[in-house]
Chains A and B, each alone.
Chain A
Amino acid sequence: MQAQAQKYSVLMVDDDPEDGVLVKKAIASTGPKVDFQFVASGAEVLDYLFTEGRFTDRSSAPRPNLILLDLNMPGVDGFSVLKQIKSDMDLRRIPVVVLTTSEAETDIVKSYDCGANTFITKPSSFSDMIEVMTSLKSYWFDAARLPTA
């Protein structure tokens, strides 16, 4: 997969790599190819975004156009990541989609309060996952206009 060649890059952070596989497959099955990057912890995603640690080379860590963020992660959790992204003058423009197993009202409210752009509960079937990814892509990459980085 050639990151440079693709127009859009999606960065997913989730402590469950199996969900990473599902989302990757779902995205892959939805028309035009997008770059898919996956990290498994809150600390790693911060390194990735701030090009620190093992992500100092921007070519291997392209700036994402959309972040899929899990909430419940050991160590640095989704809310901390969200707060750091949204308090950074540059990174705050990247839309963050909270993609979690939680359906709790408190999590939903807190996510939006922390600046999440969307809150989605992980669908339980693969076909629903495809549907979610299709609509996310069509909304954020087709309908919405984002600032050019």
Chain B
Amino acid sequence: MLAIYEYLFGAASFVPHGYCLAWRPDLIAIHAFSDGVIALSYFSIPIALILLLNKREDLAFKRTFGLFALFIFSCGVTHLTAMIMLWEPYYGAQGMVKLATAMISVATAISLWPLLPKVLALPGPGQLRKMNTQLAAEIAEKNAAQVNLHQAYQQVEAQVVERTRELQALNQRLQDDVLRRSLLEEELREKAAQLIATNAELERFAYIASHDLQEPLRKIQAFGDLLKSEYESVLPDEAVEYVRIMQNAAYRMNKQTKDILTLSRLSWDSIQFDSLDLAEVVEEVAFDLKERIEEAGGKLEVGPLPSIPGDRTQIRLLMQNLLVNAFKYREPDSTPEVHVEAALHDTGAPGTGGACVEISVRDNGIGFAQEDAERIFSIFQRLHGRSEFDGTGIGLAICKKIVENHNGAIEAVSSLGKGAVFNIRLPTSQPERREIHAGTGTEV
């Protein structure tokens, strides 16, 4: 122990370092001062490093930091001993201190070298700042992009919502439309059914009314006749005139109800299409009208007429009405001339456009204004007063109904004072039998 102490601090045979400096105070001062300041400084550095180590737990290379602190500290001790050596010649101790410092330095250096690439790899603060700035910029960029993206997304979403709403609205509208249309169609169907029912009802009413009206009417006429025939001689002239007027009115009404009955029957009765010799039908009608034609001094010219499929009763009634009209509406004191002609056409049948027969009844009578050409086929439409021409206003309506029953068309061409032509187009082929109103009412 003593030997070690002697080795370390045995100063008997040495001189202090100040001696080497010849105790020059300026040199002593500068060495002592510098070594002291270096030592102090060197002692402060490890403190700072240890503090740093304690505060920064994420610090890399902690061991090397520790070594470095120890190395600085030992350097500080070396300088401290160098300062003491100026006055005390403990060269043994100083040598030990230096040795220790040397070992620590070597260890530090050894641990430092392999660290160098690693430390170099570590980004420096500047670099870090730059990277940070870059990162911040990138983040800002990304944020901005995200915001943009979000905005875009929101826009798209809004558009989708908007489109969806539009589509839904459109869909709703379509559905409403479809619903409305189907409701309308339903309504239309109902209305059509109602119309058919009402029409049937009306026709039935017309039939019943005209049929049932005939009964009391017949009584008025018959008893009027009776009154006149049995009491004419005892009644005053005025009374006889009244009876005559009543008789006339009853006669007209009778004719009218009969015509209505005929017209409504045309809607009721089934129709039978037979092959009909039109020439024969017209001949028959002409025979019936012979007296009337001769009375007027008239002339009936009938061209060649074909056979057509038709209902004998109805076609006869049609030709009769047309011929009666043709002779009836004539200029006073003129000779009525009536022509009946027919032509076959390959096309032109109403509805189907197939082959048809065109029958024309032409007269040289008073005619009518062309603008009335449609009106005259309506029931009760009369162009003349009763005093001019007798009639019920039903005849042409009957004609039209008959032609329609035969799937044909009738039209009138005329101008005032120029005579009139009635053209009838009838198809050359008909279904065998047509029920106009199947299973309606029983005859009363």
> Measuring CB to CB, which residues of chain A are less than 8 angstroms from any residue of chain B?
18, 22, 25, 29, 72, 101-102, 104-107, 122-127, 129
Contact = CB atoms under 8 A, between A and B. Distances in A.
B139 interface: no
Given A124-B221, A126-B223, A126-B226, 4 more contacts: A105-B443, A106-B442, A124-B254, A126-B225
Contact of A22 (B211, B214, B215, B226): B226
B222 A125 contact: yes
B229 interface: yes
B443 A106 contact: yes
Given A22-B222, A22-B226, A129-B222, A124 B217 contact: yes
Given A102-B444, A106-B443, A107-B443, A125 B225 contact: yes
A101 B225 CA distance: 18
B299 to A, nearest CB: 32
Q: Pick the 8 closest A-B CB pairs, nearest first.
A: A126-B225, A104-B443, A124-B218, A126-B222, A106-B443, A124-B221, A126-B226, A22-B222
Contacts of A106: 442-443
B219 interface: yes
Nearest to A22: B222
Contacts of A125: 221-222, 225, 251
A25 B222 CA distance: 11
Contacts of A124: 214, 217-218, 221-222, 254
A8 to B, nearest CB: 23
Nearest to A102: B443
28 contacts: A18-B223, A22-B222, A22-B226, A25-B230, A29-B229, A72-B444, A101-B211, A101-B215, A104-B444, A106-B442, A106-B443, A107-B443, A122-B218, A123-B222, A124-B214, A124-B217, A124-B218, A124-B254, A125-B221, A125-B225, A126-B221, A126-B222, A126-B224, A126-B225, A126-B226, A126-B229, A127-B225, A127-B229
Nearest to B224: A126
Contacts of A25: 226, 230
A115 to B, nearest CB: 20
Contact of B214 (A101, A104, A126): A101
B261 to A, nearest CB: 8
Nearest to B217: A124
B444 to A, nearest CB: 7
Identify whether the interface residues of B are mostly helix, strand, loop, or mixed.
Answer: helix
Contacts of B443: 102, 104-107
Contacts of A101: 211, 214-215, 218
Nearest to B250: A124
Nearest to B313: A105
Interface string B209-243: 00100110111011111100110000000000000
Interface string B433-444: 000000000111
A4 B217 CA distance: 37
A100 B223 CA distance: 17
Nearest to B443: A104
B366 to A, nearest CB: 31
Contacts of B215: 101
Given A102-B443, A107-B443, A18 B214 contact: no
Nearest to A107: B443
Nearest to A122: B218
Contacts of B251: 125
Nearest to A108: B443
Contacts of A129: 222
Nearest to A127: B225
Contacts of B211: 101
Contacts of B224: 126
A18 B220 CA distance: 11
Interface in B125-161: none
A11 B443 CA distance: 26
Contacts of B225: 125-127
Nearest to B225: A126
Contacts of A18: 219, 223
A107 B442 CA distance: 10
A101 B210 CA distance: 12
A25 B251 CA distance: 21
Nearest to A103: B261
Most buried by A among B211, B218, B251: B218
Most buried by B among A107, A123, A124: A124
Nearest to B212: A101
A129 B222 CA distance: 8
A125 to B, nearest CB: 5
A17 to B, nearest CB: 11
Contacts of B223: 18, 22, 126
